[in-house]
Structure 1
Amino acid sequence: MDIPELLAPAGDLEKLKAAVVFGADAVYLGGKQFSLRERAGNFTLEEIAAGVEFAHARGVKVYVTVNIFARNRDLDDLPIYLKQLEQIGVDAVIVSDPGVLTLVRETAPGLPVHLSTQANTTNWKAARFWQEQGVSRIILARELGLEEIREIRRQVTVPLEIFVHGAMCISYSGRCLLSSYMTGRDANRGDCAQACRWRYALVEEKRPGEYFPLEEDSRGTYILSSRDLCLLEYIPQLVEAGINSLKIEGRVKSIHYVATVVSVYRQALDAYRADPGRYRVRNRWLEELGKVSHREYTTGFFAGPPVRAAQGAVDSIYLRPYTFTGVVREYDPARGLALVEQRNRFARGEVLEVLLPGGETFSFTVTGLYDENMDPVDAAPHPRQRVFLSLPRPVLPWSLLRRREEYKD
């Protein structure tokens, strides 16, 4: 049985390592230029090389996004950058622009090319065209339903990838001018201001007194804001449809988001591999996905045209039930102490939860808390402060600490 690759976002080197440790088969990242996530941490060439070394040592692939819609001025520096990526040994580049595809073929012919979702591949004729251009994978548009995906699979042999989790764009796979028009930040060059998620009021100038009903919460109305995608329940159908890679959105999300979502989909794919006929979504997986910062979930267009409740206004723009408090860097089994790098304040007496690589969780009350000199402290209030923390059981490096909001001071 061919189980799809689990492809995770890597906004920076730390997130890349977390994605690998928590079960990704591949990661995708962007350099400091030519990438559609300008406000992610992104990677220098040295960091790309370090990421490739870390990932390849663990059997994980690395894909680099070069998926802007290039302007003439971009073409001067691109050839050098592409050659550098080829020399580093990345496993593929992700492109959307035919000109960039041509440059890859001319300057770095050893680099496999994945076609970005930005290219809006929505039918099998387009997929066949790109296959004939020599791309080694097509990332399908997010607007496709299951039957459309199946038809494309029947018509082409090139590997196919789809998004299965994360933020959805209200426009066709990111092709939007709203941000550029309103703020000067071009979504098609990686600098989207997410203007679709701002507050709006709908008024028809020539029909005074006539109003369209809109849902809203205490902060305003979000008439363009899509819910987040979650296709966890459709893994059997995705495998049956011949999808080769399942992609998680989130290069600007936190390490906590990346690790948690990757861990859940890893467990789900492994459960399906072990017993396809009895696959079902576990409640604990859904609970885990509810612990990261997210909008309400939807299946998008996958099961057919979305109903208004799935794609229209949402009851609240973000749900943040947990606070990410720290990352375990080291663990001393002789003393039962973890060296933790703080990410949000936590203190003695609070109840924290630990997420371990592999997906297991446990909770404990903070009792023993010490600074790096082993002097007792009451709290860890400083960003990235390193503290020693007594734990009731052994943990692995990269285990994450989080706190339910009800425990927050």
Structure 2
Amino acid sequence: MKILAPVNSVYEAETLVNLGAEELYCGLNPGAWRKGRGQELWLNRREPGKANLESLEELRKLAGVAHGAGAQVFLTLNQPGYAPELYADILATVRQAQDYCGVDALIVADPGLIRLLKEDRPESIIHVSSLAAVLNSAAVSFFSRLGVKRIIFPRYVEPETMKSMIEQGGEQLEYEAFILNDGCVFEEGYCHASHAFGGAFCHNPAWVYKPLKIREEENTAPKRPRERLFRVNQESFGEHLDEYRRWLWIGIKNFGGMSGSKGYPLGMCGLCALPELQKIGVGSLKIVGREASLQKKAASVRLLKKMLDFSQAGHTSEEVRIEAKSLKGAKGLCKSGYMCYYS
């Protein structure tokens, strides 16, 4: 299995391939796109800034570094959908990214864009983004007919479900699964929550929630029992909200970027599932977080490389589980399930 790591600069690419990453994925958001058509336009899901490269020239240099180390580079075009009038500009950018920069594959969610890319450049290698929400065998068949090369499973798809989807897709496709960092409150491919107010409301542990009393008509139950029921519901709601905020802090906010006792990042994890993922045919393991610091990315690659070597040395699934919990440095949190993609 290969390690797929996020990058947002040439220097990061040099560092991460030297640590063991064999695949890199990046975003591109040149100034022409940000200012186009009188509004902010993003080529990919991440906003302009530290999650993206700023120019085709930088992408070209990054690809050169990666290829020199035997690694590949994938470009994200993973908005769930694009306005049809943008397709021509996207195709022009793709031609430059492939011919001038040398990117090896495109990560795409929009079926319409996939179709246009394959019509315009049949040789294009396309990976179906997790934003396309490929959650069943029918979806695998659909994208396979469009000519894609790789299926990227969304977060939280159970390995047993992956297995049935891989059996449907066959060996002509490649398969990729999430392994470290960054959870999501909803299924990302179906999420339309607003990110316009300092981050999506679902990501904000400080967001204020409260139960509301429902006004009832006269001749309903006596007031005292109704008030008592509201208090009970309010207490239950408070307990549920506390748990929800704890999960946000651990699984979504990754403890605010904190590390475990061994120096590896906390947050979402699927390391215990490595033997099973390999057995069912997953070939690429995705480390999440293009916007993360290089320190976190490097620590994630080191952790995954260490666990892959351990797993592929012939250790049992239970031994892999014990080693993963030890390296992660958060045994209690592993037991809670707050950080686990696949349990």
Which TM-score applies when normalising by structure 1? 0.64
| Cα 1:224–1:197 shift into 2, 3 Å | farther
Q: Is the CA contact (8 Å cut-off) linking 1:12 and 1:40 kept in structure 2? A: no
| Cα 1:288–1:50 shift into 2, 3 Å | farther
Per the alignment, residue 101 of structure 1 pairs with 114
Per the alignment, residue 161 of structure 1 pairs with 176
| Cα 1:201–1:274 shift into 2, 3 Å | same
**Correspondences of 1:8-407 after superposition (within 5 Å):** 8-32=5-29, 33-38=42-47, 39-43=49-53, 44-68=55-79, 69-87=81-99, 88-157=101-170, 158-180=173-195, 183=197, 193-198=199-204, 199=206, 200-206=208-214, 209=231, 210-211=233-234, 212-214=237-239, 222=245, 225=248, 227=251, 228-277=267-316, 280-281=319-320, 286=325, 289=328, 297-300=338-341, 302-303=342-343
Q: Which has a greater percent of strand?
A: 1
| Cα 1:260–1:283 shift into 2, 3 Å | farther
Could you tell which deviates more after superposition, 7-16 or 259-268? Answer: 7-16
Q: Is the CA contact (8 Å cut-off) linking 1:201 and 1:221 kept in structure 2? A: no
| Cα 1:194–1:252 shift into 2, 3 Å | farther
CA distance in 1, matches of 2:202, 2:107: 25
**How far 1:135 sits from its partner (Å)?**
0.3
Per the alignment, residue 222 of structure 2 pairs with none
1:204 alignment partner AA: L
CA distance in 2, matches of 1:35, 1:22: 27
> What stretches of structure 2 of length at least 5 have no aligned partner?
30-41, 215-226, 252-266
Could you tell which deviates more after superposition, 207-216 or 169-178? Answer: 207-216
Q: Is the CA contact (8 Å cut-off) linking 1:214 and 1:223 kept in structure 2? A: no
CA distance in 2, matches of 1:55, 1:5: 14
CA distance in 1, matches of 2:324, 2:9: 25
The list of structure 1 runs, each at least 4 consecutive aligned residues, that deviate by more than 3 angstroms after superposition, is 207-210, 276-279, 281-291, 294-297
Which TM-score applies when normalising by structure 2? 0.75
**How far 1:216 sits from its partner (Å)?**
7.0
| Cα 1:129–1:290 shift into 2, 3 Å | same
| Cα 1:41–1:146 shift into 2, 3 Å | closer
Per the alignment, residue 393 of structure 1 pairs with none
**How far 1:179 sits from its partner (Å)?**
1.9
| Cα 1:277–1:172 shift into 2, 3 Å | closer
TM-superposition CA deviations, 1:242-263 (whole Å, max 9, x none): 1111111111111011000111
CA distance in 2, matches of 1:18, 1:279: 32
Higher relative contact order (CA 8 A, sep 6+): 2
Q: Which has a greater percent of helix?
A: 2
Could you tell which deviates more after superposition, 249-258 or 66-75? Answer: 66-75
Q: Is the CA contact (8 Å cut-off) linking 2:152 and 2:175 kept in structure 1? A: yes
| Cα 1:75–1:85 shift into 2, 3 Å | same
**How far 1:147 sits from its partner (Å)?**
1.2
